[in-house]
Structure 1
Amino acid sequence: MNLRIQQDCSNIDWEWVRATLKRVNMAYFNAEIHKKAFENSYAVVFIFDEDKLIGLGRALSDGAYQATLYDIAVLPEFQGQGIGRLLVENLLARLPKCNVILYAAVGKEEFYQKLGFKRLKTGMGMFLNQKLMQQKGFTE
């Protein structure tokens, strides 16, 4: 692999972002919504193999002490090769003095635990579609 890391939103195919998030069973919206979300994020990272976009992620932060990670996704055929770790480490490097939270896709908790994340005992969520999030296993 010939990996390239990009830390801005230039020349991103937002329809690809939408399709990838759908493919890995994460929340997805129309391409313009993803474009807006990434462009309004504190930090973004896109990983390419040559010219093929294979992974992405973003962080929201106040830049002082709190941050969250969202949309960490790697094409299935590239999973298990350190791309997810590279995405997360790249984002964390840009949040050096922040507490960082995330909610993992169901079944991916172990991946984040290996990176040092701990399960929250007091985590709460309010979702637009509470029933769907319960069906997907995110809430009680």
Structure 2
Amino acid sequence: MEAVAAYSLIEAIPDVEDYLRLRSISGLTPRSAEAARAGLPGSFFAVCAQHQEETVAMGRIISDGALFFHLVDVAVDPAHQGKGLGKSIVATLLAHVQKVAPAEAYVSLMANGEAHRLYAPFGFTPVMPEARGMALWFTADPAEATHPV
């Protein structure tokens, strides 16, 4: 895997603590440790960037293994942003899809805020008006299910 100077990229699912920390400090929606422990092992493929033995960035793919691939949890510690880590992680995730997927595989993601700027150079484009991304958040109390903001 490609390494950015002073960083190493490793094929690995982040541990729960790193996952929760990186989501929190990079501005992604917080998750519970319980949900992380249940969900992370189901990753189709994941990569982490390390700096001096600390995980400072991550990205994962969730997938059915053939038709649909969804990039999730691309997060870089703000202290390490602007150094090409996000690009390296996305490139590594997409290289894996290219290696294992049939030609008709659909790769999707949700880009919040200005994150679309990270993904556009890789060929990701908005799907509207042909399709519209939609989401529903479930909570412990189904009456509190809501949409993400």
- TM-score normalised by L of structure 2: 0.78
Structure 1 segments (4+ residues) deviating >4 Å: none
Bigger CA radius of gyration: 2
What is the identity percentage for the equivalent residue pairs of Structure 1 and Structure 2?
Answer: 24
Residues 38-77 of structure 1: pairs in structure 2 closer than 5 A = 38-77=40-79
Kept in 2: contact 1:18–1:28 (CA 8 A): yes
Specify the SS of the correspondent of 1:68.
strand
Deviation at 1:65, TM superposition (A): 2.5
Q: Choose the corresponding residue for 1:123, options 125, 132, 139.
A: 132
Name the residue aligned to 2:89.
Answer: 87
Alpha-carbon distance between aligned partners in 2 of 1:63 and 1:73, rounded to the nearest angstrom: 23
29, 32, 36: which one aligns with 1:30: 32
Shift of residue 37, structure 1, vs aligned partner: 2.0
Correspondence 1:7 to 2:23: no
1:108 aligns with 2:112: no
Aligned partners of 1:108 and 1:124: how far apart in 2? 15
Aligned partner of residue 97 in structure 2, secondary structure: coil
Q: How many residues align?
A: 131
Do the aligned partners of 1:46 and 1:53 also contact (CA within 8 Å) in 2?
yes
1:30–1:103 CA distance, 2 compared to 1 (3 A): same
CA-to-partner distance for each residue in 1:55-112, whole Å, 9 max, x for gaps? Answer: 0011011221320000000011211111001111111111113321000122211221
TM-score by length of 1: 0.83
- The answer for unaligned runs of 5 or more in structure 2 is 138-144
Distance of aligned partners of 1:32 and 1:47 in 2 relative to their CA distance in 1, 3 Å threshold: farther
Ranges in structure 1 where 5+ consecutive residues have no aligned partner:
none
Question: Take 1:119 and 1:90, find their aligned partners in 2: how far apart are those partners?
Answer: 22
- The RMSD of aligned alpha carbons is 1.7
